[in-house]
Structure 1
């Protein structure tokens, strides 16, 4: 499959929102009233987090939003070769290893990670220009506040997700080579998650299951070819557009040409990215009248 398209993803529904976590007892409480969501691309019209599971060699990442007259501007950028990071933070479940917290009931919170995502860090670091074996998250470099992020686990490193009120384009360049031993079990993946999950994120399985069920929205994944050659990374465009019922597209642009993702995308470039692939396309009508996401007491 060269492109995956979801149409009519404008859902409405509700979920139980975490408002309290007790590190000593393991108690987790939800708000009295469920949090509602609605609109085109919901629940992805709220801020989102990018999550990567290795083995993966992320070469470039750029996030664009509309800037007028059909053009888009780059707001966030990472380049592995030049070790450039603009407006981004790399995080992982390494709480207690220099930053974040760790506890018996909730395990390790989010923390800054070292350049290889193999441990924590006391300060923000730039992801290394190499194959990363473990799971890591990418969020903005802006600190959370309750209005944007909701409840934050005390002591956790918490950053805002990528805003979701307008069209967004994510451009990625990466490879996923096979490795003998990895934290991801040689099952690499990239996905988006509602950013409100992350401030309450932990590495304890039962807690993660309950909190993710309470506040996440994910697309099911179709099969796209895995770019196993580290010397031939691919470029991919992810487009979320809150018009005409809401559309999401994941499109392989081809093997990398070595060019950097620019600071601006003109109207013609945006049109090309949104254009239907000439290759094999998987298209799904995602229309659901009502979504009720169940929350769990943990």
Structure 2
């Protein structure tokens, strides 16, 4: 779904968020998306708070429409909450992921097992329109639907109107209105098709329905931290997961996608495709763990990275039956490092739902993909605020700007942006610590070593807490 935001709405949203970005130096409305200044760092302060969301407790595809999923209220509070819970990382093409690493403070990592090595909208308060947790437009009555089920391409006539659902769809990640949506006609977006008209729960291209004017109303924000040191500055940060494309190295993590029913996971006509193991090229399912090859993910592909620790019993909370379920990356202090390129494929969107040439990197509460990332809103915790953060998202086909947005009961999006790395790779860090989210472009020679000194983490955090021409601050406390 696509939701348009008026200039008045966007202005009101920025007032509520009390942002201190660089928009006073100039801004432009480009196709409904607001852009201010190109920067090399963005920090969101006051990220966490106190509130609640609806945690899914059961999914039954055979139940009557409207009662297929049940949930219970889950309270949260504290720094970064609810993103201090387990999170998953999502990548949509055209994108080349060259390196990826996850770090946590050494004091925490000593309590965690080191992992063994194994060799998918939005509308920020700026107007994005992808659907990271959304669905594509439902097929109309009489439309032909094509899908891959158990490895076999099947086609059938859609004879279900979806009229029994009445709740509006929540949109996923951003708050700007762009003509894009992470939903495409690829078979791994089936959950959108059978979502009963429901919408986003953590996919890319799902920011569209969020109204930033109410961003501060449903949760009490914590005070932002203005200290430059990390909350765990007494020790180093240990690497918990690592991927390098050139050496086909993968440790502490697993690659997944949305091809359930093809090799792994499950498929049904109520919820569509579950999570599955990803094939090496990211474009189909697999029967077991595979390492993503050194490749370019196309616009139609979404790959998800979680930890390599498989869910057992109820230690992940509730997961969709028969899905591929792994733990995410947990804790109130965690850092993610990336090396990636987003080449310009030259594609143009065939319709408003086509995410052609709009790459994105985003983070979800890991409960979302383990239940239903795309489909019925009541079958995901996304709409009730369990959390999404869009790190680098292109909002229009071929655009050279990457924006960021926080979605949840505390929400907002900075209109300053990073320049899309089309011709060469870019290294970047996202550090979640002290109730802040720091995004920073790194030097080309930055080493994703097995350990990172606390002073390095503190320096990144400290250097991104002072606004300058290349550093944008966005406060989420009103």
Asked if Structure 1 and Structure 2 have the same fold, meaning a TM-score greater than 0.5 normalized by the shorter chain, the answer is yes
Alpha-carbon distance in 2 for matches of 1:43, 1:235 = 27
Deviation at 1:238, TM superposition (A): 0.5
Alpha-carbon distance in 1 for matches of 2:438, 2:447 = 21
* Structure 2 partner of 1:12: 50
Q: What residue ranges of structure 1 are gaps of 5+ in the alignment?
A: 289-298
* Structure 1 partner of 2:420: 226
Alpha-carbon distance in 1 for matches of 2:469, 2:428 = 14
Instruction: Tell me, yes or no, if structure 1 residue 248 matches structure 2 residue 434.
Output: no
Q: What residue ranges of structure 2 are gaps of 5+ in the alignment?
A: 1-38, 108-233, 349-353, 390-404, 406-412
Instruction: Tell me, yes or no, if structure 1 residue 206 matches structure 2 residue 376.
Output: yes
Cα 1:208–1:19 shift into 2, 3 Å: closer
Q: TM-score, normalised by structure 1?
A: 0.86
Q: Is the 8 A contact 2:341 2:425 kept in 1?
A: yes
Of the three residues 353, 359, 363, the one matched with 1:192 is 363
Higher relative contact order (CA closer than 8 Å, sequence separation 6+): 1
Residues paired across the two proteins, number: 278
Q: Deviations over 1:129-176 (max 9, x none)?
A: 0111111110001111465422111110000000124x2111110010
Instruction: Tell me, yes or no, if structure 1 residue 286 matches structure 2 residue 286.
Output: no
Q: Is the 8 A contact 1:18 1:151 kept in 2?
A: yes
Q: Deviations over 1:29-57 (max 9, x none)?
A: 333x4111110111111111111111110
1:30-69 aligned within 5 A? 30-31=70-71, 33-67=72-106, 69=234
Q: TM-score, normalised by structure 2?
A: 0.55
Bigger strand fraction = 1
Alpha-carbon distance in 2 for matches of 1:67, 1:202 = 32
Larger Rg: 2
* Structure 2 partner of 1:108: 273
**Secondary structure of the corresponding residue to residue 268 of structure 1:** helix
Instruction: Tell me, yes or no, if structure 1 residue 94 matches structure 2 residue 255.
Output: no
Q: Is the 8 A contact 2:69 2:379 kept in 1?
A: no
1:63-78 aligned within 5 A? 63-67=102-106, 69-78=234-243
Q: Which runs of 4+ in 1 moved over 6 A?
A: none
